């Protein structure tokens, strides 16, 4: 009668630049069925040019694989999370060739060095170094995920998350 309307939450758009310097590769090209078939979530894959993982946004480290250091999950202030998985089957290296500069629970700042990894060591051990960056399925706050080429460098990509 008075025209009262229920307030709707304003959608939040989070643009996440590649956290790993390198060349963009279609997720479908990752030599692991779970990533390639997007069973774990939507995202991108990077063929690293440097052995560094850089924080793509201000947020926190939700989980770091403490012993192997091959994977890290980050959370943006919006609640959206991303998984950065360095290489395929690199958990088998048990942390050899990886250096973590953060730990689970740490607050991070965009541009901060999170992990370093030895590309040559990983490849010499027989593992692909291709690095998926995904938005894991099942996140309540994530409504839509898109991948777009960055305007500044078409070899890079941006993951766009709508929460």
CATH of the domain at 84: 2.70.70.10
Does residue 60 form part of some domain? yes
Count structural domains, the chain. 1
For residue 46, being part of any structural domain is answered with yes
Catalytic residue among 70, 76, 85, 101: 85
pTM, two decimals, is: 0.89
C-beta separation of 47 from 23 below 8 A = yes
What pLDDT, on a 0 to 100 scale, did the predictor assign at position 73? 98
Please confirm, yes or no, whether 101 is among the known catalytic residues: no
Domain of 146 in residue numbering reads as 13-162
Would you list the DSSP string of 71-137?
EEEEEETTS-EEEEE-SSSGGGGTTTTEEES--TT-EE-TT-EEEEE-HHHHHHTT----EEEEEET
For the chain (length 163 residues), average pLDDT per consecutive 10?
54 88 90 94 93 97 96 95 97 96 97 98 97 92 80 65 81
136 falls within a domain? yes
Q: Is residue 37 part of a domain?
A: yes
């Amino acid at each position: 009668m008075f025209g009262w309307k229920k307030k709707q939450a304003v959608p939040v758009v989070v643009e996440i630049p590649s956290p790993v310097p390198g060349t963009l590769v279609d997720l479908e090209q990752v030599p692991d069925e779970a990533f390639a078939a997007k069973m774990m979530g939507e995202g991108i894959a990077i063929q690293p040019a440097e052995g560094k993982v850089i924080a793509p946004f201000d947020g926190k480290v939700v989980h770091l694989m403490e012993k192997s250091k091959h994977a890290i999950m980050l959370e943006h202030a919006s609640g959206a999370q991303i998984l950065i998985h360095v290489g395929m089957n690199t958990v088998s290296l048990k942390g050899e060739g990886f250096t973590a500069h953060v730990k689970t629970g740490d607050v991070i700042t965009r541009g901060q060095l999170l992990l370093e990894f030895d590309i040559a060591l990983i490849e010499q051990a027989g593992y692909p170094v291709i690095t998926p960056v995904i938005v894991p399925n099942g996140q309540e706050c994530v409504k839509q995920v898109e991948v777009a080429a960055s305007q500044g460098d078409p070899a890079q990509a941006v993951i766009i998350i709508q929460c």
